Structure 1
Amino acid sequence: MAILLFFIAHWFLSLFSQTFFYHRYASHAAFTMSRGWEKFFYIFSYLTQGSSYMSPRAYAIMHRMHHAYTDTEKDPHSPKYQKNVIEMMKRTNTIYMGVYNGTFPVDEKFMKNIPDWPGFDKWALTWTSSIVWSLIYIGYYILFATAWWMCLLIPIHILMGPVHGTIVNWFAHKYGYTNFKVGNTSKNLLPFDFLMLGESYHNNHHKYPSSVDFGGVRWHEVDPVYLIIRIMDWLHIIKIKNLALKRVEAEF
């Protein structure tokens, strides 16, 4: 039970950081927050993502490129141009590191109004940090695993961020259903998306990338993070810029 609870907690906390802070805030600026709260969520993201922590700045730039170049050769991660999941993950990582290190050419338009904390990222993205987090995961399993096969989950802990990204960027461009014609292969992977906290409503998102709500087109499309965001807005932790949009032209 301890292993299951640990895995579930890491899965959803890491995923929340990705969809709330990296995706909706850094990439799309769907809401605003103070500098103090921004630094809080930097630290929160580091603690929840651990060994797979990413630079919010580099993530946001790369994600904006994905929207601008979806399913073309310039797309950082497209199933149309990579033969398998592993190749796509390798290409994504290469471009991500190039963006972070400033060695990959990026159009100026993708770099505006993005959170950046270079001093924090300088430590958080070191090999030392990744190794320490990996040892923490391994140590937990040594203490609490009751069967050898449980240790097969350790690589997922270590690569949690890339695993989440791959589920959306590969599978949600190959499988699922569509509500909108958007000129690319984006699909809604899951009809009820608790597993990915709304991220798998990818077709909806490509139609309305600036909307803070990824679901809401069909009755079963509930985006759990949107509900949390509304509560945070009510508590004045954030301020929503783009409320859920009316999807009147959905083609069911």
Structure 2
Amino acid sequence: MYILIFFLAHWYLSLFSQTFFLHRYAAHQMFTMSKGWERFFYFFTWVTQGSSFLSPYAYGVMHRLHHAFADTENDPHSPSFSDNAFDMMWKTKNIYNRILKHKENVDPKYFKNVPYWGFMEKIGDNWLSRIGWGTAYTLFYIHYATSPWMYLLLPIHYLMGPVHGVIINWFAHKYGYTNFKVNDTAKNLLPFDFLMMGESYHNNHHKLGGRANFGVRWFEFDPTYPFILLFNSLGILKLKKNNDLNYM
């Protein structure tokens, strides 16, 4: 029971950081927040993603490139130019690292207003930090696991961020349904997105790139959007009015 609770907590907290802070804020600027709250969610992302911490800075820039060049040779992660998901994610990793180290030749417009906190970036991308989180997950399993099969979940903990990424970037460009005609292969992977907190409404998102609510049809519930509305009402963030526009 403890292992299941821990796995689900890590899955959804890590996913929330990715969809709320990295995706909807860092990449698309669907809402604004103070520098204090920005740093709070920077730290929250490190805690919840742990060993698989993804830089809001590098993620934000890379995701903007994905929208600008979706399913072309310049797309950082398109299934159309990879034989399998592992090959696609390896290419993604290389582009991500070049952006992170400021070695990728990217048009300056893709960096506009992308959050950057050097201190937290260095901690999150440090291998001592990554190994430390991985060790903590392993020790938790050693203490609470009641069956050998449970240890099969550990690699998902170690690579939680990339696992979430490949589900959308690979499968949601191959399987699912569409509500809108777009110039790429983005699809809605799930009609009721209990698994990816709204991220699987990928076709909707590619059509309405700046819309904070990824659900469009009556049955498409986006679990992240109520949190955005709550944070907006509490003054933690300010939701932009022109919310159906793209980030650029």
Q: Normalized against structure 1, the TM-score is what?
A: 0.96
Of all paired residues, the percent bearing the same amino acid is: 58
- Calculate the aligned-residue CA RMSD, in Å: 1.1
Matches within 5 A, 1:70-219: 70-215=70-215, 217-219=216-218
Structure 1 residue 65, shift from structure 2 partner: 0.1
Question: For 1:128 and 1:202, how far apart are their aligned partners in 2?
Answer: 34
Question: For 1:59 and 1:242, how far apart are their aligned partners in 2?
Answer: 24
Letter in 2 for 1:219: W
Structure 1 residue 128, shift from structure 2 partner: 0.6
What do the CA deviations read for 1:131-182 (whole angstroms, capped 9, x no partner)? 0000000000000000001000000000000000000000000000000001
Letter in 1 for 2:170: W
Structure 1 residue 243, shift from structure 2 partner: 6.3
Question: For 2:87 and 2:71, how far apart are their aligned partners in 1?
Answer: 15
Partner of 1:250: none
Structure 1 residue 242, shift from structure 2 partner: 4.2
Partner of 2:35: 35
Structure 1 residue 245, shift from structure 2 partner: 4.5
What do the CA deviations read for 1:64-96 (whole angstroms, capped 9, x no partner)? 000000000000000000000000110000000
Partner of 1:237: 236
Question: For 2:166 and 2:61, how far apart are their aligned partners in 1?
Answer: 17
How many positions carry a matched residue from both structures?
A: 245
Secondary structure of the corresponding residue to residue 79 of structure 2: coil
Structure 1 residue 219, shift from structure 2 partner: 1.2
Letter in 1 for 2:233: W
Per mean C-alpha deviation after superposition, the further-off stretch among 122-131 and 155-164 is 122-131
Contact 1:213 1:226 in 2 (8 A): yes
Structure 1 residue 104, shift from structure 2 partner: 1.4
Contact 2:210 2:244 in 1 (8 A): no
Question: For 1:161 and 1:120, how far apart are their aligned partners in 2?
Answer: 17
Question: For 2:164 and 2:184, how far apart are their aligned partners in 1?
Answer: 21
The 3 A distance-change label for structure 1 pair 245 and 123 is closer
Letter in 2 for 1:221: E
Contact 2:187 2:202 in 1 (8 A): yes
Secondary structure of the corresponding residue to residue 194 of structure 1: coil
Letter in 1 for 2:127: W
Contact 1:192 1:222 in 2 (8 A): yes
What do the CA deviations read for 1:28-84 (whole angstroms, capped 9, x no partner)? 000000000000000000000000001101000000000000000000000000000
Structure 1 residue 190, shift from structure 2 partner: 0.2
Q: Normalized against structure 2, the TM-score is what?
A: 0.97
Question: For 1:212 and 1:219, how far apart are their aligned partners in 2?
Answer: 16
Per mean C-alpha deviation after superposition, the further-off stretch among 61-70 and 119-128 is 119-128
Contact 1:191 1:220 in 2 (8 A): yes
Letter in 1 for 2:235: H
Instruction: Give the gaps of 5 or more residues in structure 1.
Output: 247-252
Contact 1:134 1:158 in 2 (8 A): yes
What do the CA deviations read for 1:225-246 (whole angstroms, capped 9, x no partner)? 0011001100111000146659
Question: For 2:210 and 2:241, how far apart are their aligned partners in 1?
Answer: 7
